[in-house]
Chain A
Amino acid sequence: MDFEQLYELYWEKIFRLCMGFVNDYATAQDLAQETFIIVWEKQDTFRNEANIGTWIFRIASNNCLRQIEKQKRIIKTDLLPNLVEERSHSLEPQILFLYKCIADLSETDRIIISLELEDIKQAEIAKIVGLSEANVRVKIHRIKEKLTKKFKENGQR
């Protein structure tokens, strides 16, 4: 698969993962771009030892985890403030609430639930995060319970 195909196939998924992590549109856009810069730079080192999706999600989630360490982002998207404003008005409150609830979770939980919602198999999630499959399963169950509880409390059902 060449870079263009990877970009087309994974951009949206990676963006949502980043958005679930930071819940900030401009930062998520920057993180997604950085992920693809790394993918571009590293594409020759991918040796088919893993699923390409697992490989990209590992890069994206590690890049998110490294966020605190970087004092300033390596690139900045020139996103107009009114575009962000417009975007959040057009989204349903339920969607905004879901992303907010996810961003409030612990960092590992944010990554796990984002991958689960992207329909990534639990075995793959385990490989991305570095936990056992059983562990991931338990975590997903708990996170969903937590989210459901928050939705109920907030009357979002």
Chain B
Amino acid sequence: MDNDNIDFKNLWKQQIVSKPNLEEFMVQLNKFKKAGLKTYWITNAVLALTSVFLVCIWVFYQPQFTSTKIGLVLTILTMVVYFVVFNRILKPSLYVGVAQSNQNYVQGLITIKKKQQFMQSTMLSLYFGFLTVGICLYMYEYTRFMSTVTAMVFYVLTIAWSALNWLYIRPKQMKKQQLIIDELITKSREISVDSVDDEME
């Protein structure tokens, strides 16, 4: 063989490796676990506080119109569904199929990502749709006491916020997801094409 003179294995193993001792590693491991827990608690605290805030509005301001109550319930429900779905279903597990062969793992990731993409686009559409309807219904009672111009300003601002989410944030999220899928598909194709090439020779 042509490469007899170069001892790649010897060169390879001369790489300097700094191995953290096991105690240091355990510290990192615990930090990682705590960071995960922290995100989980913050997410849930935000959800709980927002819901409590909305319930307080109901209790202290005693809305008279049914539209206001429906708006409040719709807003709370939308947020609850959003957090539950994103936390429990959409949050990708770091470890799904990680001990399979590379080829199966990448294929599995593509399937998961495609499912997530579908769920995410449906969920995001529902989320923004219901949230906008909920807020508009909720505002109706209060804008009735405002002048037409002020009420219009409030509605225009709310709808503009919603449009920003719908036209900017939602497509951005979906594009990000699509890029990941495309890259994974390229990677998977690379493995298969390479192997077909080799088989043919």
Contacts and interface: CB of A to CB of B under 8 A. Distances in A.
A33 B27 CA distance: 11
B82 interface: no
B1 A62 contact: no
Given A16-B13, A40-B29, A90-B16, A4 B22 contact: yes
Interface of B is mostly: helix
Contacts of A114: 12
Interface residues of B, number: 48
A128 B18 CA distance: 25
Contacts of A144: 1, 3, 8
Interface of B: 1-3, 5-6, 8-9, 11-20, 22, 25, 28-29, 31-32, 35, 94-95, 97-106, 109, 180, 183-184, 187, 190-191, 194-195, 198-199, 201
Interface of A: 4, 7-8, 11-12, 15-16, 19-20, 29, 33, 36-38, 40-42, 45-46, 55, 58-59, 61-63, 65-66, 68-69, 74-75, 87, 90-92, 94-95, 98-99, 106-109, 111, 114, 117-119, 127-132, 134-135, 138-139, 144-145, 147-148, 151, 157
